[in-house]
Structure 1
Amino acid sequence: MNARKLSVLLLACALGISGFQSSTSSSSSSAPKASWKPIFNGKNLDGWKIKIAGYPLGENFGQTFRVADGILSIRYDQYGDNFNNRFGALYFGRKLKNYRIKVEYRFVGETAPGAPVWGFRDSGIQYLGQSAESMELKQQFPVCVEYNLHGGNGKDDRPTGELCVPGTYVEFAGSRNSQFCTPPDVKKTFHGDQWVTAEIEVRDGKILHFVNGEQILSAANAHYNPEHEFGKVFAAKDPGIILEGFVSLQSNSHPIDFRKIELMEY
């Protein structure tokens, strides 16, 4: 092969490699990236479903869930003098898998009359949960994993973000949870009516809790609990790791506001 032919061949190879790299780079950069999208429109409850214990799906007893001035409020001023265990939840309308959800919340006002003692400044974000349609009429809480929202009383520590397991169980560092609610590793108490940002990431069996952008808890491998009254029904059908489910916001007896709810799907 003479020098001229060799030069042409080397140039062709170089152009081919360059074109391949350019094509690969272009393909990679065009891949969609996960981004935050609002799932509460600030105007109404479109895209959400209501289920309150003792009432049929869709009945918003006492206007428990209401929207005004861009804020989703949970209230009990029409419950009379007895909360009477009428726990409820507002469900996002579709099942989710591999996502991160972010809410801004604040506790306000006084606990409803007749509420349990633990109901003071207590609510929750329920995830990996059963559907609203599968809830029994008088069932108080869905089978799910929960990010427990807590508010302080002005003086004592009462950290937010513990993980609770109604009808499920999870693993911490490879071991099954030893208590119903597991406190976060990083403890943050928020007093008064200040706005707080809570986030949950669920991805390929891994679970992370955040507050104001800081990771506070890590867990993994949620399963349905075969020893739980309602969990056993789901465990019989699906004994493996729970990878998807519904997200809902609790109505737990203390007034609470949400002003932003966003979702990022992977």
Structure 2
Amino acid sequence: MKKYSLLTIIAISTIFSTARSQAIPLALFNGENLRGWHADVPAMDTNTTVKSPFIVRNGMLVSLGEPRGHLITDSVYQNYRLRVEYRFPGKPGNCGVLVFASTPRALYQMFPKSIEVQMEHNNAGDFWCIQEDITVPDMEKRRGPKTEWGVSEGKKRRILNLTDSSEKPLGQWNTMVIECKGNTIKVWVNNDLVNDGYNCTAAKGQIALQAEGSEVEFRKIEMTPLK
């Protein structure tokens, strides 16, 4: 039997231990179909001719923008880092990634209860509070007068991001990373920290993508569990 030195055995054990402890990213979009997701599009409730705005095209998940609604994961997640690679292929527009999503159509009979991480061109990284709330530093500067804050219709639900010019030029791919740990949410756009919130009123939920009037392409949506 071949003998190994003690240092060799320790080294091999360390490698295997490290490999086991490293979280493996989970692809939430498989590049072929929308398995693991379901669409919630109000216009489809009463009109059977209306088609879902969420399709797979050339290996990408595409939100066509209309009719408006959400593509929602079947599963509930907590404590994770979400990586989304996206672009507006044509004209600048609006979309968002919703985390901690739960009750459907909780706002304007459209938006699920959640915290939205904005993807709108030139505003990527803003928070929008949708029947859930979150705190950030300099709240009054970034959200407006405290007396007008709220999480429902007519209230100041938008919390501005921290940076300008973190997005790439229109048509190029952006990388958004959303880290949800406990009741905190941190957001990076192309490696810039663009928002950092805490004391969120939720700590787990589904993940959702929007159809909000603009075509958006997603080439990667993956989640890495956090300890």
Query: What TM-score do the two structures reach when normalised by structure 1?
Result: 0.66
Percent identity over the alignment is 24
2:38 pairs, out of 33, 37, 49, with: 49
What is the CA-CA distance between 1:35 and the residue it aligns to? Answer: 2.7
User: Aligned pairs, how many?
Assistant: 200
Question: Could you tell me how far apart the structure 2 residues matched to 1:37 and 1:74 are?
Answer: 21
What is the CA-CA distance between 1:245 and the residue it aligns to? Answer: 0.5
Question: Could you tell me how far apart the structure 1 residues matched to 2:208 and 2:130 are?
Answer: 13
What is the CA-CA distance between 1:174 and the residue it aligns to? Answer: 8.8
* Corresponding position of 1:167: 131
Query: Relative contact order, CA 8 A, sep 6+: which one is greater?
Result: 2
Deviations 1:82-123 (A, max 9, x none): xxxx4201111200010011111111335xxxxxxxxx6110
What is the CA-CA distance between 1:161 and the residue it aligns to? Answer: 1.1
Report the AA paired with residue 45 of structure 1.
L
Secondary structure in structure 2 of the residue aligned to 1:254: coil
* Corresponding position of 2:3: none
Question: Could you tell me how far apart the structure 2 residues matched to 1:249 and 1:140 are?
Answer: 13
Question: Could you tell me how far apart the structure 2 residues matched to 1:172 and 1:216 are?
Answer: 11
Structure 2 residue 213 is matched with structure 1 residue 250? no
Structure 2 residues not aligned, in runs of 5+: 1-5, 145-155
* Corresponding position of 2:191: 213
Question: Could you tell me how far apart the structure 1 residues matched to 2:167 and 2:138 are?
Answer: 27
Larger radius of gyration: 1
Question: Could you tell me how far apart the structure 2 residues matched to 1:257 and 1:60 are?
Answer: 24
* Corresponding position of 2:101: 129
* Corresponding position of 2:150: none
Change (3 A) 1:98 1:174: farther
What is the CA-CA distance between 1:206 and the residue it aligns to? Answer: 1.4
Change (3 A) 1:60 1:93: farther
Pairing of 1:220-259 with structure 2 (within 5 A): 220-223=198-201, 242-259=202-219
- Root mean square deviation of aligned Cα: 2.9
1:180 pairs, out of 154, 157, 173, with: 157
Question: Could you tell me how far apart the structure 1 residues matched to 2:84 and 2:189 are?
Answer: 10
Pairing of 1:68-217 with structure 2 (within 5 A): 68-75=57-64, 86-109=67-90, 121-130=93-102, 134-135=104-105, 139-151=109-121, 158-173=122-137, 178=144, 179-187=156-164, 188-217=166-195
Secondary structure in structure 2 of the residue aligned to 1:147: strand
What is the CA-CA distance between 1:189 and the residue it aligns to? Answer: 4.0
Question: Could you tell me how far apart the structure 2 residues matched to 1:60 and 1:182 are?
Answer: 37
* Corresponding position of 1:262: 222
Contact 1:42 1:67 in 2 (8 A): yes
Question: Could you tell me how far apart the structure 1 residues matched to 2:137 and 2:87 are?
Answer: 31
